Structure 1
Amino acid sequence: MTYHVSRRSLLALGAGLGASTLLGGNALARAAKVGTQSPYFHRFMLGGAEVTVVSDGPLPLGPPKGTFTGATDDEIKKMLTDNFLSPDNIVLEQNSPIVNMGDKLVLFDTGMGTSQAFGSTTGRQQKSMAEAGIKPEDIDAVVFSHAHIDHIGGVVDASGKVLFPNAQYYIAQSDFDYWTDEGKLGSPLKDFVIHARKNLMPIRDRLVFYKDGQEFLPGVQALAAPGHTVGHTMFLVTSEGKSFAFLGDLTHHQILLMEHPRMEFSYDTDPKQAADSRVKMLDMLAANKIPVMSYHYPWPGYGHVVKTGEGFHYLPEPMQMLL
C-alpha cells in the first residue's frame, strides 16, 4: 500500500491531534527549558594516538558576497540553499585537534584568543580544553598552520601571559616573518599584524621553523600548501599506520570551496596560488583516501574527500561515541 503525504495533510494532522497531544500533555509543557549545550570537545582514536578536537567557537563571516568570488551571487546562493545553509551568513567552525601520541601532547592552532574581530562567539579554546580535561600546561607542542588571527590568537591571555608555558612552538618561517613585520602596520593588514605580534613575539625564543616535507615531530609531517598565506602548511598526522591530514585553511567551506575549488576567498594572500594548492592537495587526499580534519568545517570537522567531476565532495565521518 502506498501513502501520499503532502505538507497540507501533515498540517491538518497536527491540527487534529491538538497541541497538548503533540507536546506530550501538560507534564512536558511544565518542564523548564535547560538552555545549555553539550561540552565543545570530541575524541576519537588514530592508531595508538588519542585525538581530542576542541573548539574555539563559531566564526561568523556574514554574507558571502565579496568574501567568496568566482561565481555569481545567484550561483553561490543556490549552492548554499541546496545544502540547507543560510545564504545570508557564512558561519565557520574552529576545530583544533589535540593529539596525544603517548610521549607528546600536540595542539594544532590556537583560535582567536582575545580578539573579537569576528564577534563574541570565538575565543573559547581554553574553556573547551577544560571541558575535555586537558590542562594547557600539559601541552608539549603547539603547531601553527599559519599566522592568521584565528589560528595564533590563543597563545597569550588578555594580560599577555603565555597560556602554554611548557610548549615548544612550530611555524613556517616565511609566515612568521610576514605577519610580524612592523612595516605592515600602516597597511590594511594592521589588525592581523598587531595580533600576530602580540601572540608570537612572547614565544619567539621557543619557535621552531619547520620545512616542507619534514617530520618535525614524531608522527607529524609538514606539507606546504601556500596561497592562503605565504607559508600556509597542512600536516599529515600518523600513528601505528593510521593517518589523517590536518588541512588548516586549505579550504574554508565544505560546499563552496569543495564543489568549486577554483573559487577564490578574499582572505587569501594569493588567491590564484591558494586555488592551485587547494586542487593539488584535495586531488592527492582523494586519490589516497586520506581522512581529513578541517579547521573551519562543521563540527567536529573530521571526514573524507572524494572527487566529483571538476570539484570535490566532503563526507563527514560519523562521530564515534565509544572509544
Structure 2
Amino acid sequence: MLALALLLESCAASSGATDQWTVAVPSRARRHSARLAGFKHESLPLIASIRGAMKTGDQPLEPPTAQFHRQVIGEAELLALCDGGINYPAAMIFGRVSPEGATRYNLPARQLFVPYTLLLVRRGRNAVLCDVGAGDLGNPGDQAFPGLDHSTSRTNLLVPSLLAAGMEPREVDTVLITHAHPDHVGGMLDAEGRLVFPNAHYYVARQEWDYWMSVDPAVVGARALREHLEQLIAIARKALHAIAERVTLVEGDEEVMSGIRFERALGHTPGHLMVTIAAGGQTIHNISDVVVHPLFLEHPEWAADIDMDAGLADEARRRFFARAAEEHTLVFGHHLGPFPNLGRIAKCGDAWQWQPVSWA
C-alpha cells in the first residue's frame, strides 16, 4: 500500500489539480436541525483524500450522516448529496481479483464499505436529480438483503441531505435514472408508497426498462447478484411501475435538456447510462457505476462481480478513462469516495488513477 500511495502522490503532483469546492448550509436547513443532528462537513487535502480512497480495508467507525457539498460552475449549481453507504460482502466487488492482487492491495476478506452519493444539478428553473438513492436498503430492519452488515451501514439520507442544502423534494422537476439497481432506484417511494419526488418527470433508457420488466433470471450474468435476483427484480419493477405514467424512455446517447445529456456506458447493466453536464465552458461526467471503486482505475481489467456483462463493462471503463484523462474533465462517481465523490482521472503508467478534488 505504501508503494501505491507514493505512486499516486507522484501522479497527483504531476497533474497540477487545483479544484476548490465550497460548502454552505442555508438558513432554511436549520429548521430541520432536529432531523439532521448528525449533519457535518469535512475538508480534506488532495493527497490525504487519495490515500483515504485507496484504503480498501478500512471501515467507518460510525454510520454515515446527512451531508452535502455545493459548487457553482458557470450557469449550473452542483449539489453532491450523501445517501449513506453499505458494508458489502467484499467478494461482490472484488470477487474476480486474483489472490496475488488481493494480497498486494490488502483487499478486505469479508466486508467493504461502499459510499452512496448522488448528484443534483440546478440550472435555470430546472432541478435535475441523477437517481433517487437506496431508500431503506442499508438500514437495520431491512429484509431485502439480510446478508449485509448493518453495523455501520446507513442509507435513505438523500432527503435529509437535500433539506440540509436548502431544498425540498417537491422542487426536483427532473430525475435521470442511470440504471435500476436498488441503490439507484430503491428510494423512489416513501414509507407510505408515495413518490418521494412528486413533481418530477423521469427519464430512463428503454433498454434498461425493457430488461427489468421482462428479465429471465436464467440469463443474468452478474454471478454475485444471482442469489439476490428475486429481490433485485422486485425492487426495480416496483420503482419503475411507480413512474410509468410520468416517464420518458430514451434510446441511449440523447440530450435531455440544454447542456445535459445521457451517454451509453453499457455493461454494469444492459441499459446503464452516464450523464454529461456542460456548464461554464467545463464538462462534468456523472459516471454512475461505470466504476464502483478507485482501484478499478488502477486495474481496469478487474471485473466487479456485480457487473452484468463483464466484457462490455471493461470496454466502457477503458474508453471513458482514456477520454476523461485526455480531456481533464470533472468526474462524479456514485461510489467513488471520499465525499463529495468528485475528481479527475489521470493517466498513470499503463493505467489510470482517481484524483479527488480538494475544496475550501
TM-score by length of 1: 0.81
Quote the offset at 1:66 in angstroms. Answer: 5.5
In 2, Cα distance between the equivalents of 1:124 and 1:235?
A: 22
Q: Give per-residue Cα distances to partners, 1:251-289, cap 9 Å, x unaligned.
A: 00012x110011011111101111111111111111111
* Structure with more contact order per residue of length (Cα contacts < 8 Å, sep ≥ 6): 2
Paired letter, 1:264: A
Secondary structure in structure 1 of the residue aligned to 2:269: coil
In 2, Cα distance between the equivalents of 1:138 and 1:50?
A: 14
250, 274, 282: which is aligned to 1:210?
Answer: 250
112, 126, 130: which is aligned to 1:108?
Answer: 130
> Taking every aligned residue pair, what percent have the same amino acid on both sides?
28
In 2, Cα distance between the equivalents of 1:308 and 1:161?
A: 47
In 1, Cα distance between the equivalents of 2:106 and 2:351?
A: 16
Paired letter, 2:209: F
* CA RMSD, 1 decimal: 2.1
162, 185, 195: which is aligned to 2:235?
Answer: 195
Quote the offset at 1:91 in angstroms. Answer: 1.3
Do the aligned partners of 1:260 and 1:310 also contact (CA within 8 Å) in 2? no
Unaligned runs of 5+ in 2: 1-36, 41-65, 139-144, 221-225
Structure-2 residue corresponding to 1:75: 101
Give runs of aligned pairs for residues 1-323 of structure 1, distance below 5 A.
36-38=38-40, 39-63=66-90, 65=91, 67-80=93-106, 88-116=110-138, 117=145, 118=148, 119=150, 120-181=153-214, 184=217, 188=227, 189-255=229-295, 257-298=296-337, 299-320=339-360
In 1, Cα distance between the equivalents of 2:191 and 2:320?
A: 37
Q: Give per-residue Cα distances to partners, 1:66-110, cap 9 Å, x unaligned.
A: 5324432342243247xxxx5653211111111100220000111
In 2, Cα distance between the equivalents of 1:71 and 1:168?
A: 40
Secondary structure in structure 1 of the residue aligned to 2:344: strand
Secondary structure in structure 2 of the residue aligned to 1:265: coil
Task: Work out the number of aligned pairs and report it.
Answer: 280
TM-score by length of 2: 0.73
Specify whether residues 315 and 51 from structure 1 end up closer, same or farther in structure 2 by C-alpha distance, changes over 3 A only. same
Quote the offset at 1:183 in angstroms. Answer: 5.2
Quote the offset at 1:59 in angstroms. Answer: 2.0
In 2, Cα distance between the equivalents of 1:235 and 1:165?
A: 22
In 2, Cα distance between the equivalents of 1:49 and 1:241?
A: 11
Secondary structure in structure 2 of the residue aligned to 1:199: helix
Secondary structure in structure 2 of the residue aligned to 1:169: strand
Specify whether residues 150 and 88 from structure 1 end up closer, same or farther in structure 2 by C-alpha distance, changes over 3 A only. same
Secondary structure in structure 2 of the residue aligned to 1:216: strand
Do the aligned partners of 2:289 and 2:334 also contact (CA within 8 Å) in 1? yes
Specify whether residues 309 and 133 from structure 1 end up closer, same or farther in structure 2 by C-alpha distance, changes over 3 A only. same
